[in-house]
Amino acid sequence: MTANFTSWGRPFTDAKMDMYGGDITQRYQLGAQQLAATSDNFTEGVQKTQQPIVTGTSVIGLKYKDGIMLAADNLASYGSLARFKDIQRLYGVGDNTVIGAAGDMSDFQHVQHELESLFIDEYCNDDGHTLGPAQIYEYLSTLMYHRRSQLNPLWNAFVVGGVDPKSGESTLAYVDLLGTTYSAKTIGTGYASMIAIPLLRRLVEDREEPPNEEEALEIIKTCMKVLFYRDARSLNKFQVAKITKSGSDISPSMSVETEWGFAEGIRGYGAQTQ
């Protein structure tokens, strides 16, 4: 049987010649060759994420008296659809480092695999040295800049928080898909860089002494509440990571109490009266 679907169920002599007197089989063979030549352009390399599909929103972080505190909600949005509501965007790397990821979740999973491979190699070396937060930060910045230079970026922004177990030095740093890096006492990605950073600076950086753990947690909750009010891609379900010299801990999901009574008079919200 010929592969040309127009010939199925017809005599071969009739099917071979079209109504214009041309050889239809030759024309289809030529078209198939042109299509194959075009398709070969995509077989030369492996293409990964060309644009974000399933994404996470803001990650915030601050330095407090005993270490670093990070927070991120559990929502992964499919475009504007709140699709996955139980995604952990805080990831522990070793004993004293946690990274928070915003942006594409599939690229975040790829970075997780890269970090796992890195730690396996370090474990096999068995040289008595472990990777601390500063080394993880340098590795991520190199990885992100390398992928950007290949014009195949990882569509993420990461907040790296950790405490060196030997020196006790705290690290709170940021790296994005362009390889941009900086460190500060307070950091936010995405919408938090516009909404939460002013709050964090006023509540943390303007103090003479860094906040203790209880005060830092209240500051984090305040910022997450504001982000839930203002960010359409956020969720009132988030996790908080605490990193100290003795280790790291990522909390179960929590929420904050909200008040929407003020919105009853807004057109398009709640019960409407004419």
Please identify every residue annotated as catalytic.
Answer: 49
Long-range CB pairs of 249-254, under 8 A, 24+ apart, other chains included? 250/88, 250/90, 250/92, 250/98, 253/74, 253/86
What three-state secondary structure class fits 258? coil
The encoded tokens of residue 166 equal: 């030997």
Q: Point out which residues pair with 264 in neighbouring strands.
A: none
Instruction: Yes or no: say if 168 and 63 are a contact pair by the CB < 8 Å rule.
Output: no
Strand order in the sheet with 59-64: 186-188, 59-64, 67-73, 238-244, 247-250
d(CA 137, CA 118): 13
| Residue 182 CB-density burial (10 A; 0-12 exposed, 13-18 middle, 19+ buried) | exposed
Q: Which residues contact 69 (CB under 8 A, 6 or more apart)?
A: 61, 62, 161, 213, 216, 217, 220, 240, 241, 242, 243
The encoded tokens of residue 73 equal: 């909600």
